[in-house]
């Protein structure tokens, strides 16, 4: 294929949350560089984080779009949506698409994300049977909603963040839901066992049962139906007492067993891949300086980040670098903060949460009221928050996030970290007391000062502030905080200065 007539510019592979953000960040800095983006999914990019809300019926698919399709044409971006890049020819500096086309590049940016991990259940080599769906894309989400119509019993395999959000969404649609989880407690990566127990209890009250230590060995499949193979249940390993495998019956099975970075293309092109594509702090492949990688397919400092905040931070850093806006920009790692998006369950977890009282280096402050579904824990080392769990009541999540994020010294009034406003003091989360430099929107790295500046620039509602600063447009968890700050600014303005 002759590509010599085409100008070499930037080619982005993957138009998910990282790739689409990178493209808009580049155009915000440089309107001229030739820019092509390939997206295997045949639609405008969307906020994958909010798929759980779509599954739960709290958002519609048309409300979670990220970049309007018209934007590409208006901004001279060659968007090849529904086209997968099938090969990278590094020697020629060309990518080849599934549409038979090819595009030359000077800089290649890989943002291929992850795929759902589906365990190799016997008999599913050709794909999952009808009624069994993994949960990663909008198509998956639609398939689950479709399958949930007319279904009564759902099994979710995997009790991590995604599995629990899916389970809660399905229970909200009236299904009888069981989560089968291999570990001894739910969300074991983010929670300690005590928190996992309180979470399981809360979920039970919301119609989601959890079965822990569950060793799923396969799917029970009816192969005789006229419409083809259909799932009828999930098989668990036989108990030590003998007998056949136990079957948990289900007419809908959601597989939420984690993700694997999509690195096949990079590996085939000879780039160094560990769990992800290995990059340095300029997000450059350690194998080839003309290739960069960001988002869930990349690995920096031994870590593959599975959250949107680091991916969006990387997008900004990389846009600064490749457009020459800031040659000193670097990605030096990110702190991981997880917020569950499940109706009726408030949960935020950050950092190291598994320390117990037996570690002399770490001070633990803990409060539990299982009856009310509340569990709070803060882990402190050298006077700084190194981890926290807030379950049931998350009123101080913003403050804890800021203390953790900036490794800032703890306030002397430690109880206010758990109980806002205790003792008559002004709550630490009050907009008055939040310093200007404090991050309010973690996904988009927007500070209180940024919100104030936006207000001073003329924005008068939380919607306007969110649209201009992007605060609240990631996981949406900071929306209340943004509204609080906007109301406070409005109040201040209406009170005449004395
Ligand atoms: C249901 C759900 C809930 C989540 N909740 C949260 C949350 O609360 N907070 C949080 O921080 N994160 C959450 N996440 C994770 C978050 O969505 C990811 O971290 C984020 O999407 C990563 O962005 P990415 O661009 O690296 O990958 P993706 O968003 O997966 O995008 C990768 C894109 O690349 C495309 N692609 C792959 N290979 C090719 C190819 N060869 N050619 C062309 N295109 C290709 C894929 O089709 C895909 O569209 C959630 C994820 C899911 C599924």
pLDDT at 397: 86
User: Cβ(261) to ligand 1 under 6 A?
Assistant: no
d(CA 290, ligand 1 centre) in Å: 23
Decide: residue 411, CB within 10 A, 0-12 exposed, 13-18 middle, 19+ buried: middle
pLDDT at 407: 81
pLDDT value at 209 more than 80: yes
> Which CATH code for domain 132-257?
3.50.50.60
Write the pLDDT tens digit of every residue in 216-266. Answer: 999 999 999 888 899 999 999 976 666 678 999 999 999 999 999 999 999
Residue 374 main-chain phi, psi, to 5 deg: -110, 135
d(CA 67, ligand 1 centre) in Å: 15
Dmax over CA atoms of the chain, in Å, equals 81
Question: What is the CATH T-level fold of the domain 9-114+260-323, as seen in this structure?
Answer: FAD/NAD(P)-binding domain (3.50.50)
User: Cβ(266) to ligand 1 under 6 A?
Assistant: no
CB 468 within 8 A of CB 454: yes
User: Cβ(45) to ligand 1 under 6 A?
Assistant: no
CB 338 within 8 A of CB 348: yes
Q: Look at ligand 1, atom 14, and give the residue with the nearest C-alpha.
A: 49
pLDDT at 435: 81
Write the pLDDT tens digit of every residue in 342-389. Answer: 988 999 999 999 887 778 889 999 999 988 999 999 999 998 999 999
- DSSP string across 367-411: EEEGGGTEEEEEEEETTEEEEEEEES--TTHHHHHHHHHTTPBPP
Identify which of 300, 308, 336 to mutate to test ligand 1's pocket (most ligand atoms within 8 A of the CB): 308
Q: Look at ligand 1, atom 24, and give the residue with the nearest C-alpha.
A: 113
Q: Look at ligand 1, atom 19, and give the residue with the nearest C-alpha.
A: 307
Q: Look at ligand 1, atom 7, and give the residue with the nearest C-alpha.
A: 49
pLDDT value at 424 more than 50: no
Q: Which residues, in sequence order, are bridge partners of residue 181?
A: 212
User: Cβ(109) to ligand 1 under 6 A?
Assistant: no
CB neighbourhood size of 487 (10 A): 12
> Of 62, 258, 235, 82, which is closest to residue 160 (Cα–Cα)?
258
User: Cβ(20) to ligand 1 under 6 A?
Assistant: no
Percent share of the chain, pLDDT over 70? 95
User: Cβ(111) to ligand 1 under 6 A?
Assistant: yes
Hey, CA dihedral for 74, 77, 78, 79, is it positive or negative?
negative
- Residue ranges of alpha helices (H) inside 105-262 are 138-148, 161-172, 193-205
Average pLDDT, stretch 138-149? 96
pLDDT class for 91, splitting at 50, 70, 90? very high
Average pLDDT, stretch 282-289? 98
- Encode 133-149: b = buried (16+ Cβ within 10 Å), e = exposed: bbbbbbebbebbbebbe
pLDDT value at 201 more than 80: yes
- DSSP string across 327-353: TT--------EEEEEETTEEEEEEE--
User: Cβ(49) to ligand 1 under 6 A?
Assistant: yes
pLDDT value at 210 more than 70: yes
User: Cβ(262) to ligand 1 under 6 A?
Assistant: yes
Decide: residue 30, CB within 10 A, 0-12 exposed, 13-18 middle, 19+ buried: middle
Q: Look at ligand 1, atom 2, and give the residue with the nearest C-alpha.
A: 49
> Of 375, 382, 387, 380, which is closest to residue 418 (Cα–Cα)?
375
Decide: residue 279, CB within 10 A, 0-12 exposed, 13-18 middle, 19+ buried: buried
User: Cβ(429) to ligand 1 under 6 A?
Assistant: no
pLDDT at 98: 98
Percent share of the chain, pLDDT over 90? 73
pLDDT value at 325 more than 80: yes
Ligand 1 atom with least separation from CA of 98:
42
Q: Look at ligand 1, atom 47, and give the residue with the nearest C-alpha.
A: 40
Identify which of 15, 49, 84, 472 to mutate to test ligand 1's pocket (most ligand atoms within 8 A of the CB): 49
> Which CATH code for domain 431-498?
1.10.10.1100
What is the Cα–Cα distance from 427 to 419, expressed in whole angstroms?
8
What is the Cα–Cα distance from 375 to 395, expressed in whole angstroms?
13
pLDDT value at 6 more than 70: no
The answer to whether the 352-429 and 431-498 domains have the same CATH topology is: no
Identify which of 46, 88, 266, 307 to mutate to test ligand 1's pocket (most ligand atoms within 8 A of the CB): 307
pLDDT class for 408, splitting at 50, 70, 90? confident
More confident residue, 343 or 332: 332
pLDDT at 7: 66
Question: What is the CATH T-level fold of the domain 352-429, as seen in this structure?
Answer: Enolase-like; domain 1 (3.30.390)
Identify which of 14, 168, 331 to mutate to test ligand 1's pocket (most ligand atoms within 8 A of the CB): 14
**What is the average pLDDT value for the chain, to the nearest integer?**
91
Ligand 1 atom with least separation from CA of 18:
25
pLDDT class for 425, splitting at 50, 70, 90? very low
- Residue ranges of alpha helices (H) inside 206-307 are 264-268
pLDDT value at 476 more than 90: no
- Residue ranges of alpha helices (H) inside 56-192 are 69-74, 138-148, 161-172
d(CA 66, ligand 1 centre) in Å: 13
Domains of the chain by residue range:
9-114+260-323, 132-257, 352-429, 431-498
Enter the tokens of residue 231. 């799932």
**Whole-angstrom distance between the N-terminal and C-terminal Cα of the chain?**
74
What is the Cα–Cα distance from 37 to 152, expressed in whole angstroms?
42
What is the Cα–Cα distance from 119 to 125, expressed in whole angstroms?
10
SS3 call for 106: strand
d(CA 137, ligand 1 centre) in Å: 8
Residue with tokens 């408030």: 346
pLDDT class for 495, splitting at 50, 70, 90? low
């Amino acid at each position: 294929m002759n590509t010599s007539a085409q100008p070499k510019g930037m080619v982005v592979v993957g138009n998910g949350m990282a790739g689409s953000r990178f493209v808009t960040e580049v155009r915000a800095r440089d309107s001229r560089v030739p820019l092509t983006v390939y997206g295997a999914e045949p639609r405008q990019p969307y906020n994958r984080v909010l798929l759980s809300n779509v599954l739960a019926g709290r958002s519609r698919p048309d409300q979670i779009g990220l970049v309007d399709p018209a934007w590409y044409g208006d901004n001279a971006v060659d968007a090849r949506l529904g086209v997968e890049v099938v090969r990278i020819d590094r020697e020629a500096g060309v990518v080849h698409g599934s549409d038979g086309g090819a595009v030359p590049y000077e800089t290649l940016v890989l943002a291929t994300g992850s795929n759902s991990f589906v365990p190799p259940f016997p008999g599913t080599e050709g794909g999952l049977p009808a009624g069994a769906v993994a949960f990663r894309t909008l198509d998956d989400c639609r398939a689950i909603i479709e399958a949930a119509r007319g279904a009564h019993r759902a099994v979710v395999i995997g009790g991590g963040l995604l599995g629990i959000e899916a389970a809660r969404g399905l229970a909200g649609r009236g299904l009888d839901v069981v989560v089968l989880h291999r570990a001894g407690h739910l969300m074991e990566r983010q929670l300690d066992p005590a928190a996992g127990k309180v979470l399981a209890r809360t979920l039970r009250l919301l119609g989601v049962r959890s079965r822990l230590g569950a060793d799923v060995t396969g799917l029970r499949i009816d192969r005789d139906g006229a419409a083809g193979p259909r799932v009828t249940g999930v098989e668990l390993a036989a108990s030590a007492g003998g007998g056949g495998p136990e079957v948990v019956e289900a007419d809908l099975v959601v597989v939420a067993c984690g993700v694997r970075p999509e690195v096949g293309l990079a590996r085939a092109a000879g780039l160094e891949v560990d769990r992800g594509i290995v990059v340095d702090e300029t997000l450059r492949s350690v194998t080839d300086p003309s290739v960069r990688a960001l988002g869930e397919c990349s690995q920096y400092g031994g870590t593959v980040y599975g959250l949107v905040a680091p991916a969006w931070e990387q997008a900004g850093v990389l846009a600064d670098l490749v457009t020459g806006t800031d040659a000193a920009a670097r990605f030096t790692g990110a702190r991981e903060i997880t917020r569950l998006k499940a109706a009726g369950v408030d949960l935020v977890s950050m950092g190291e949460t598994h320390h117990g009282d037996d570690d002399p280096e770490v001070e633990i402050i803990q409060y539990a009221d299982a009856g009310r579904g509340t569990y709070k824990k803060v882990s402190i080392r050298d006077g700084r928050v190194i981890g926290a769990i807030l379950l049931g009541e998350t009123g101080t999540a913003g403050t804890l996030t800021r203390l953790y994020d900036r490794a800032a010294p703890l306030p002397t009034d430690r109880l206010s970290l758990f109980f806002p406003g205790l003792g008559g003091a002004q709550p630490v989360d009050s907009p008055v007391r939040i310093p200007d430099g404090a991050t309010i929107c973690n996904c988009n790295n927007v500070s209180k000062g940024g919100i104030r500046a936006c207000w001073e620039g003329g924005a008068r509602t939380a919607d306007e502030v969110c649209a201009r600063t992007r605060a609240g447009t990631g996981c949406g968890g900071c929306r209340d905080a943004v509204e609080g700050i906007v109301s406070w600014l409005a109040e201040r303005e209406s009170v005449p200065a004395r």
